[in-house]
């Protein structure tokens, strides 16, 4: 057992005796561990939260707790199980929602929900449909959460903000990588106006801002053994943002026939059947609260978020890989190319994507 990690875990209000603390997965942002306990005591998730990205962490934890409590209330009222259908933040022994170690690193714990399945890819339309219902349901559960959340990620899906960062990084070219990637830079530049035109509708309020998840990859959803959505997890990025961001980010990850960092671009394309199934599930839950403008831009949001990801990966590459964890010097460039291939595939299928949305709101 990693002695340091269990010492950290001991600062939280855990039940039972810690058996083991082990690394879990390979998040790009946080470090995640699983705490197993002896006997029938619960299992927990321990995370070192990335304070360089989420700032300030205490406000992030307050956002998460607000959303969790709100969902728990709704689940209870509907006769569901609030311990399984919502995340549970486990406070530290001093009552705070986080624990700060001697190196000023922030740690947080939540309950591990047993007997669930998480998928790394939406392999079937059935799964994509369930995921769509999950995200739509999540948004509807928090649609009446009226207290504003603290914006701990200023400009997260705001393309104007991203262009400001982009322009700065391009001007600096801190590690001299710009010259070799003129083509990739042109992919971003050639769509700048298209993306800004859309973003203006958000800035002037034509497209509403809501409580949203902002990281709707399929592995942020826990399914039960029957294949139904139980709970949406990884609430670090809950923000007041547009519902379209959640839809778009889900489509960026669900519909990709390849990997986010696929080196073989022939593997990468948008699977329209997966898009269709997710859209059906999502709109079944969400069409009652979405406005006509949101629905009009739903298909576009898939392109928007995929484009944003192209920009963010490429920007991080130019910047010398300061944001995303990378496994090789070219990793962010590989990710950029793979996401761009996906974007092109969406552009090719855009008419069909719009038709599908129309079909499910008719």
| Closest approach of ligand GN1 to the CB of residue 236, in Å | 7
Q: Which does 260 bind (CB under 5 to 8 A by kind): ligand GN1, Mg ion, none?
A: ligand GN1
Binding window for Mg ion (CB under 5 A); candidates: 2-10, 138-146, 232-240, 279-287: 232-240
| Closest approach of ligand GN1 to the CB of residue 211, in Å | 17
Binding window for Mg ion (CB under 5 A); candidates: 52-60, 146-154, 234-242, 321-329: 234-242
Which member of 13, 23, 25, 27 binds ligand GN1 (CB under 6 A)?
27
Binding window for Mg ion (CB under 5 A); candidates: 39-47, 160-168, 229-237, 287-295: 229-237
Phi (first) and psi of residue 42, to 5 degrees: -65, 165
| Closest approach of Mg ion to the CB of residue 217, in Å | 7
Per CB under 5 A, 234 contacts Mg ion: yes
Evaluate the CA torsion angle 28, 213, 141, 229 in order and state its sign. negative
Per CB under 6 A, 309 contacts ligand GN1: yes
Per CB under 6 A, 237 contacts ligand GN1: yes
| Closest approach of ligand GN1 to the CB of residue 15, in Å | 28
With vertex at residue 244, the alpha carbon angle to CA 326 and CA 112, rounded to the nearest 5 degrees, is 55
Binding window for ligand GN1 (CB under 6 A); candidates: 27-35, 58-66, 83-91, 161-169: 27-35
> Nearer Cβ to Mg ion, position 138 or 187?
138
> Nearer Cβ to ligand GN1, position 139 or 309?
309
Per CB under 6 A, 265 contacts ligand GN1: no
Residues 35-94 binding ligand GN1 (CB under 6 A) are 53
| Closest approach of ligand GN1 to the CB of residue 302, in Å | 13
Residues 314-343 binding ligand GN1 (CB under 6 A) are none
Per CB under 6 A, 286 contacts ligand GN1: no
| Closest approach of Mg ion to the CB of residue 28, in Å | 8
234 phi-psi bin (left φ>0, alpha ψ -120 to 50, beta other):
left
Per CB under 5 A, 215 contacts Mg ion: yes
Residues forming contacts to ligand GN1 in the complex (CB under 6 A) are: 27-29, 53, 215, 234, 237, 260, 309
Positions touching Mg ion (CB under 5 A) are 215, 234
């Amino acid at each position: 057992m990693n002695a340091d990690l269990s010492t950290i875990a001991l600062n939280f209000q855990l039940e039972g005796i810690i058996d083991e603390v082990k690394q879990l997965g390979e998040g790009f942002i946080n470090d995640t561990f699983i705490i197993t306990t002896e006997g029938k005591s619960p299992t927990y998730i321990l995370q070192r939260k990335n304070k360089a990205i989420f700032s300030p962490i205490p406000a992030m934890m307050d956002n998460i707790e607000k959303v969790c409590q709100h969902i728990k209330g709704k689940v209870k009222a509907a006769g569901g199980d609030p311990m399984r259908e919502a995340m549970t933040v486990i406070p530290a022994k001093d009552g705070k929602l986080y624990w700060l170690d001697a190196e000023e690193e922030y740690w947080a714990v939540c309950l591990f929900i047993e007997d669930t399945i998480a998928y790394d890819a939406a392999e079937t339309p059935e799964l994509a449909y369930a995921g769509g219902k999950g995200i739509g349901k999540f948004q509807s559960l928090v649609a009446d959460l009226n207290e504003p959340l603290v914006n701990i990620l200023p400009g997260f899906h705001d393309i104007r903000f991203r262009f400001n960062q982009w322009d700065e990084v391009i001007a600096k070219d801190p590690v001299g990588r710009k010259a070799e990637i003129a083509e990739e830079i042109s992919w971003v530049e050639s769509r700048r106006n298209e993306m800004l035109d859309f973003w203006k509708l958000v800035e002037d309020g034509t497209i509403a801002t809501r409580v949203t998840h902002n990281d709707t990859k399929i592995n942020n959803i826990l399914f039960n053994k029957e294949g139904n959505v139980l709970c949406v997890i990884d609430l670090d990025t809950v923000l007041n943002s547009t519902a379209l961001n959640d839809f778009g980010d889900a489509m960026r990850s669900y519909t990709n026939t390849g990997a986010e960092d696929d080196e073989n671009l022939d593997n990468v394309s948008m699977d329209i059947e997966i898009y269709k199934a997710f859209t059906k599930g999502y709109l079944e839950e969400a069409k009652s609260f979405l406005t006509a403008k949101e629905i009009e831009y739903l298909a576009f949001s898939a392109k928007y978020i995929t484009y944003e990801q192209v920009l963010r990966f490429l920007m991080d590459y130019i910047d010398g890989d300061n944001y995303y964890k990378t496994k090789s010097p070219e990793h962010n460039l590989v990710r950029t190319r793979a996401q761009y291939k996906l974007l092109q595939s969406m552009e090719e299928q855009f008419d069909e994507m719009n038709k599908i949305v129309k079909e499910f709101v008719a």
